[in-house]
């Protein structure tokens, strides 16, 4: 048993050492964006324009490093306005699936092709869910009274939003009130000299973000899933993985999507697990479906959004993620087969 544990720890350390470059870049990008991306401006842009396009919501959802807490803060703010369900759903479905640091890790460890496929999937799912929801809202009364937020708070209208967006490293805290960050502080102007540039860097905040987001979230989850991957590699015969998740198995993609449905999967942290499964014979489409449903529909996410959204809209959200994961998984397998 002792030898087994030593081997597992050695595998985790070796993986961290081998992938130090994409991990370091991911941590740096995540920390810098969480300090310098003005969450308050993003929030006001969504709340201040009732006719904001679904495309803009998807872009913000897929290309900003919001954690589950920050995503929830934006969605709550959107719900307090007269914004229709289409842009709200577009943002909600695209935001958990991709982030800049996630793309860096995916490309560096799983390959650029997989990273592009996951990014494209998040955008496609966001756009499709947004436009379909908009159509449902226009043609039916299915989505009437599906928010638990009864009134539009006056403070929201005056201040431009119900609180700051944060980049906290606590994905299980789904209440926006739990966020505590400094995104509402005035953003520094672009310096004109190297000396001014160095003095304007918010070193302490960046260091705190590296510690809280980088070490306590990205690296921690990454190490955890390396350990899980080691256990799977040692305890689960590769023949079983091939039989269940191979691209040649017709049910591999929906099975992987269903397995990921209730689990809390950190998109960045789950990468070594996906790498292990793919090396053992799992198909790329199945793993893509798993990476879509895991971060999007975990029990924590559903429990969090159920505090301010009702059953019909939640069911629609889960359906979008599940169907989108399965469809994108099959399309990715088809693309791989065509490309050889």
Residues 121-175 have pLDDT tens digits of 999 999 999 999 999 988 898 988 888 765 444 333 333 333 333 434 333 333 3
Task: Note the pTM of the prediction, 2 decimals.
Answer: 0.68
Distance CA 166, CA 184 (A): 9
- Residues in the chain predicted with pLDDT less than 50, given as ranges, are 151-188, 190-192, 194-198
Q: What is the pLDDT of residue 187?
A: 46
Of the chain, the end-to-end C-alpha distance in Å amounts to: 42
Q: What is the pLDDT of residue 94?
A: 87
Q: Is 62 in contact with 123 (CB distance < 8 Å)?
A: yes
Q: Is 278 in contact with 246 (CB distance < 8 Å)?
A: no
List the structure tokens of 63.
């290309």
pLDDT tens across 82-129, in order? Answer: 668 888 899 888 887 877 778 888 888 888 999 999 999 999 999 999
Q: What is the pLDDT of residue 131?
A: 93
List the structure tokens of 149.
């937020």
Q: What is the pLDDT of residue 66?
A: 61
Between 238-245 and 252-260, two packed helices, what is the crossing angle to 10 degrees? Answer: 100
Total domain count, the chain: 1
Structural domain of 31:
2-186+193-339
Q: What is the pLDDT of residue 146?
A: 85
Q: What is the pLDDT of residue 118?
A: 92
List the structure tokens of 192.
């004109």
Distance CA 215, CA 221 (A): 9
């Amino acid at each position: 048993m002792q030898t087994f544990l030593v081997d597992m720890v050695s595998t985790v350390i070796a993986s961290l050492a081998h992938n130090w470059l994409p991990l370091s870049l991911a941590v740096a990008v995540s920390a810098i964006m969480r300090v310098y991306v003005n969450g308050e401006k993003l929030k006001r842009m969504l709340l201040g324009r009732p006719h904001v396009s679904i495309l803009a919501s998807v872009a913000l959802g897929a290309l900003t490093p919001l954690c589950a807490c920050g995503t929830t803060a934006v969605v709550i703010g959107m719900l307090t306005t007269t914004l229709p369900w289409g842009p709200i759903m577009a943002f909600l479905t695209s935001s958990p699936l991709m982030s800049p640091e996630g793309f860096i890790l995916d490309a560096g460890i799983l390959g650029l092709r997989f990273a592009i496929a996951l990014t494209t999937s998040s955008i496609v799912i966001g756009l499709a869910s947004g436009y379909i929801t908009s159509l449902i809202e226009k043609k039916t009364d299915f989505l009437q009274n599906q928010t638990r937020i009864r009134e539009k708070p006056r403070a929201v209208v005056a201040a431009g939003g119900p609180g700051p967006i944060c980049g906290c490293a606590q994905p299980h805290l789904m209440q926006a009130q739990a966020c505590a960050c400094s995104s509402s502080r005035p953003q520094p102007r672009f310096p004109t000299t190297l000396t001014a540039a160095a003095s304007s860097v918010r070193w302490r905040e960046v260091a705190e973000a590296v510690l809280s987001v980088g070490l306590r979230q990205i690296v921690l989850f990454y190490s955890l899933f390396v350990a899980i991957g080691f256990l799977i590699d040692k305890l689960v015969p590769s023949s079983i993985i091939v039989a269940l998740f191979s691209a040649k198995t017709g049910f591999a993609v929906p099975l992987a999507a269903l397995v990921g449905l209730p689990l809390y999967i950190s998109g960045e942290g789950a990468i070594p697990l996906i790498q292990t499964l793919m090396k053992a014979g799992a198909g790329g489409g199945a793993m893509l479906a798993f990476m879509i449903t895991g971060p999007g529909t975990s029990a924590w996410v559903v429990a969090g959004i159920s505090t301010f959204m009702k059953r019909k809209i939640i069911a629609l959200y889960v359906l979008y993620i599940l169907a989108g994961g399965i469809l994108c998984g099959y399309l990715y397998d088809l693309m791989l087969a065509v490309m050889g």
